[in-house]
A = this chain, B = another copy of it.
Amino acid sequence: MAIAAPLSTYRTTVKKEWVDYNHHLNDGYYLVIFSLATDAFMDQIAMDAAARESTKTTIYTLEGHINYLREVKEGEEVEVRTQLIGFDQKRFQLFHTMHVARFDGPAATSEFMLLNVDTSGEDAKSAAFREDVATKLREIMQAHSALPKPDNSGRAIALPKR
């Protein structure tokens, strides 16, 4: 089956416990939703919970960046789409966009750097991806290689220059 570019990784409805007094999705909970989309992406690269357990490997989030573009309301259905930006021996870089039906463009974008970790020993330590995981990442990267780099990828926070 062809790999979608970007992938539609996650859908949810905005829960009551995620919104502020105005019934808008609270800024912190955008990241909770994006984190669930990262979990769904992990399911697609042979890193679901069962595989993590049986192979004594897991994924750590090293770093994230988020841009808030639109307010999202309690009860709205949101969809997260995911582009694989790149990967190396033990890291991968994901770019997610959050969509609601009311808007043409995304309501938010986010980017994450993630690290493969070996949990078999006393202390967890970074490690090269298992070969089946690396194969999945190569396949998705090939499907996503024609996508342009998103505008908000690699952004740094700074006040506008005067």
As for how many copies of this chain the complex holds, the number is 2
Q: Are A65 and B28 in contact (CB under 8 A)?
A: no
Cβ–Cβ < 8 Å partners of A63 in chain B: 65-68, 155, 157
Q: Are A159 and B88 in contact (CB under 8 A)?
A: yes
Q: CB of A162 within 8 A of chain B?
A: yes
Q: Are B65 and A27 in contact (CB under 8 A)?
A: no
Q: How far is the CB of A35 from chain B (nearest CB, A)?
A: 4
**Residue from the list B64, B68, B155 in contact with A61, Cβ < 8 A:** B68
Bound: A131/B82 CA distance, A? 42
Binding site for B on A (CB under 8 A): 21, 26-36, 38, 49, 60-68, 86-88, 91, 93, 111-113, 153-160, 162
Bound: A32/B36 CA distance, A? 14
Q: How far is the CB of A53 from chain B (nearest CB, A)?
A: 10
Q: How far is the CB of A17 from chain B (nearest CB, A)?
A: 8
Cβ–Cβ < 8 Å partners of A27 in chain B: 31, 35, 38, 61, 64
**Residue from the list B28, B112, B158 in contact with A157, Cβ < 8 A:** B112
Q: A26-B35, A28-B35, A91-B160 known; 10 other A-B pairs, CB under 8 Å?
A: A27-B38, A60-B68, A62-B68, A65-B66, A65-B157, A88-B160, A91-B159, A93-B159, A113-B159, A154-B156
